């Protein structure tokens, strides 16, 4: 059914006898479309983003591409606009970014020198945030806010993580205590933290590597947030690796082209990033392959919360 929808969408974009193959099945179904040039056709998760949010995402990444960032460009419909609906599902098309994704958590497929790569990625993050600050969004720009309320409020963006049904009473109490302490700390510090547009989901599957330049894809969760949250999102998946200290230092050194990252702030946001995942999995219970991943997410959140409360 999804491949049929992708084929219908390809016809809307006027692709002539394209070759269509599934490239990724995550929040969105992403199809590789080869029709002279190569494109990424995205069937968006139903109900996750509005047409207006997608339209603004595409305007945003278009501005980043114009600024020289290694991101995709939106591909317009022959009839005008950039977002279509096929059988009730929103669809968009962007240019294909060369390279291959870094792969599953903890891995950097195709990378021979991990710290050197992370230094380059940190510099790319710095350039991304600089370009975002120079861009003037269109009127009514709509994107999520990974602010204090979006991370720790009563209705966080990805759900009330402390209510995950697999948590025991003591574990819920620990997360609630860490949430309250983190909220108080962030309330004091937020006015001094760098805040603006961020990708917000730079995990390994969203970083493409061609041996020279880290490409950034899938801005689906991009919006306003603390810039240190960007670094924490990437680093969280590598915390249990032997080279984590080197990876962390290299990423921060690369980002220093824009600003220095304080160790205490990064530690805080590593925990806040970890808190988002139990809520995310909670809304996807019953979907394939989520039970084990949810258990790992809960364990990571609890481990970081315990260390945070002991500090």
46 and 140 co-located in one domain: no
pTM: 0.95
Q: Is residue 242 domain-shared with residue 137, that is, in the same domain? A: yes
**CB environment 191-222: b (16+ within 10 A), e (fewer):** eebbbebbbbbbbbbbbbbeeebbbbbbbbbb
Same domain assignment for residues 179 and 229:
yes
Domain of residue 224, CATH code? 3.90.1200.10
Q: What is the CATH number of the domain that holds 86?
A: 3.30.200.20
Domain tally, the chain: 2
| SS3 call for 30 | strand
pLDDT in single tens digits along all 311 residues of the chain: 689 999 999 999 999 899 999 999 888 999 999 999 999 999 999 999 999 999 999 999 999 999 999 999 999 999 999 999 999 999 999 999 999 999 999 999 999 999 999 999 999 999 999 999 999 999 999 899 999 999 999 999 999 999 999 999 999 999 999 999 999 999 999 999 999 999 999 999 999 999 999 999 999 999 999 999 999 999 999 999 999 999 999 999 999 999 999 999 999 999 999 999 999 999 888 777 888 899 999 999 999 999 999 98
What does DSSP say about strands 37-43 and 89-95: parallel, antiparallel, or unpaired?
Answer: antiparallel
Q: Where are the beta strands (DSSP E) in the chain?
A: 19-25, 29-35, 37-43, 83-86, 89-95, 100-101, 145-146, 195-198, 207-209, 214-216, 223-226
Examine the domain organization and report whether 127 and 10 are in the same domain: no
Domain boundary among 96, 115, 146: 96
Distances (CA, A) of 77 to 34, 52, 86, 229, 266: 16, 16, 13, 34, 42
Q: Are residue 55 and residue 169 in the same domain, yes or no?
A: no
Residues whose CB is less than 8 angstroms from the CB of residue 217 and which lie 6 or more positions away in sequence, other chains included: 40, 71, 72, 97, 206, 207, 208
The confidence score (pLDDT) of residue 1 equals 64
CA dist., res. 167 & res. 224, Å (int)? 30
Domain coverage including residue 227: 101-310
Q: Of 51, 75, 96, which residue is a domain's last?
A: 96
Asked whether residue 183 falls in the same domain as residue 264, the answer is yes
Between CA 303 and CA 13 the distance in angstroms is: 48
pLDDT score of 64:
98
Helix, strand, coil percent values for the chain (each to nearest 5):
45, 15, 35
Residues listed for the chain: 311
> Closest by alpha carbon to 93, among 72, 64, 71?
72
Instruction: Say whether both 66 and 163 belong to one domain.
Output: no
pLDDT reported for residue 288? 78
Clarify whether residues 8 and 49 are in a common domain.
Answer: yes
Q: Give the largest Cα separation in the chain, rounded.
A: 61
User: Is the Cβ–Cβ distance between 231 and 97 less than 8 Å?
Assistant: no
> Given 96, 116, 140, which residue is the final one in a domain?
96
127 and 235, same domain (yes or no): yes
- Residue 55 and residue 128 in one domain: no
Let me know whether 67 and 153 are in one domain.
no
In angstroms, rounded to a whole number, what is the distance separating the alpha carbons of residues 201 and 58? 16
- 227, 122 Cβ separation under 8 angstroms: no
Residues 66 and 108 in one domain: no
């Amino acid at each position: 059914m999804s491949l049929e929808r992708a084929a219908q969408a390809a016809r809307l974009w006027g692709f002539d006898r394209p070759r269509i193959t599934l490239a990724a099945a995550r929040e969105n179904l992403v199809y590789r479309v080869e029709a002279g040039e190569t494109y990424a056709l995205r069937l968006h998760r139903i109900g996750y983003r509005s047409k207006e949010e997608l339209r603004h995402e595409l305007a945003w990444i278009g501005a980043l591409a114009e600024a020289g960032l290694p991101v995709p460009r939106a591909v317009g419909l022959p009839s005008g606009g950039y977002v279509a609906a096929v059988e009730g599902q929103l669809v968009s098309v962007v240019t294909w970014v060369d390279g291959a994704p870094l792969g599953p958590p903890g891995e950097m497929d195709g990378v021979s020198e991990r710290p050197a790569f992370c230094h380059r990625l940190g510099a790319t993050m710095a350039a991304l945030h600089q370009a975002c600050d120079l861009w003037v969004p269109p009127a009514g720009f709509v994107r999520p806010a990974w602010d204090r309320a979006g991370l720790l409020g009563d209705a966080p963006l990805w759900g009330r993580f402390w209510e995950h049904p697999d948590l025991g009473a003591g574990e819920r109490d620990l997360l609630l205590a860490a949430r309250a302490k983190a909220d108080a700390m962030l309330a004091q510090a937020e006015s001094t933290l760098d805040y603006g547009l961020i990708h917000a989901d730079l995990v390994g599957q969203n970083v493409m590597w061609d041996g020279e330049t880290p490409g950034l894809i899938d801005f689906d969760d991009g919006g306003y947030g603390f810039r240190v949250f960007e670094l924490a999102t990437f680093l969280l998946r590598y915390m249990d690796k032997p080279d984590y200290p080197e990876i962390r230092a290299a990423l921060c050194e690369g980002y220093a082209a824009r600003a220095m990252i304080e160790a205490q702030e990064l530690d805080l946001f590593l925990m806040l990033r970890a808190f988002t995942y139990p809520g995310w999995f909670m809304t996807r219970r019953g979907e394939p392959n989520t039970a084990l991943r949810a258990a790992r997410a809960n364990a990571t959140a609890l481990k970081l919360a315990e260390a945070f409360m002991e500090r």
